[in-house]
Amino acid sequence: MREHLTIVDHPLVQHKLTLMRDKATSTAGFRQLLREISLLLAYEVTRDLPMTTMTVDTPLQEMEAPVLKGKKLALVSILRAGNGLLDGVLELIPSARVGFVGLYRDEETLQPVQYYFKVPGDLADRPVIAVDPMLATGNSSAAAVQLLKDAGATDIRFLCLLAAPEGVARMKEAHPDVSIITASLDKRLNEKGYILPGLGDAGDRMFGTK
């Protein structure tokens, strides 16, 4: 059984995250840091992937050497902020298949509504890594994971930059089988659903919108 929550406390991750939190960091700086930190997080989120061996000829002799087992990974970006994390993770795992889930929050019901869904067809056979930088209320993350399960996924990891206790609890209640990998478990949500102390709106900061 995998840990439900893993906090990546590597010094480089923590240092980069602090710079990302700083409101004085520029859009270009934020993007660069996000790219760098997503490589480090990708390393952690793939730590327990199943392995097998293959025979390989080195220049000196034949050996049985470890390789990843099974089909290529599927990365699923939860739009739009997920795309920032996706780029870095793809750099480390260039052969991964990629999917996208688009959800918006209905202002009346406050429930997530799907507006886009495109994922690799054989999700059931692949480890799936869903990426979204901010696990805040957890409502859209839990809904996105449910859509992936409905599409057949059985082995799902959720990768984020920051998590709020409320979002972790929501995910644990809805999807206890999905492990969450994050750089930090922050204090709480504010009344608007932003993570405190957080880093603000991740999408706005990475794309320079406001």
Interface residues toward ligand URA, by CB under 6 A: 81, 134, 136, 193-195, 198, 201-203
Residue 83, annotated as binding a ligand: no
CA dihedral (79, 81, 82, 84) in degrees, to 10, reads 130
User: Does 124 count as an annotated binding residue?
Assistant: no
Question: Least distance in Å: CB of 22 to ligand URA?
Answer: 15
**195 in a labelled binding site:** yes
CB-wise, 117 or 194, nearer to ligand URA? 194
Of the pair 194, 207, the CB lying nearest ligand URA is at 194
Q: For 88-103, b where at least 16 C-beta lie within 10 A, e where not — what string?
A: bbbeebeebbebbbbb
Question: Does residue 53 have an active-site annotation?
Answer: no
**Which one of 48, 177, 204, 209 is the catalytic residue?**
204
Structure-token match 């056979």, residue found:
125
Active site residue 201: yes
User: Cα 48 to chain center, whole Å?
Assistant: 15
Q: Which residues pair with 65 in a beta bridge?
A: 54
Nearest Cα to Cα of residue 86 among 45, 139, 140: 45
Q: Which is nearer to ligand URA, 75 or 81 (CB)?
A: 81
Is the Cβ of residue 29 or residue 203 nearer to ligand URA in the bound state? 203
Q: DSSP labels for 161-177?
A: SEE-HHHHHHHHHH-TT
DSSP state of 72: P
Task: Answer yes or no: 35 catalytic.
Answer: no
- Is 205 annotated in a binding site? The answer is no
Catalytic residue check, 109 = yes
Dist. CA 196–CA 24, nearest whole Å: 17
Q: Is 59 annotated as a binding residue?
A: no
CB of 192 to ligand URA, least distance (A): 8
- Give catalytic residues, as residue numbers: 105, 109, 201, 204
Annotated binding site for 5-phospho-alpha-D-ribose 1-diphosphate: 80, 105, 132-140, 201
Annotated binding site: 80, 105, 132-140, 195, 200-202
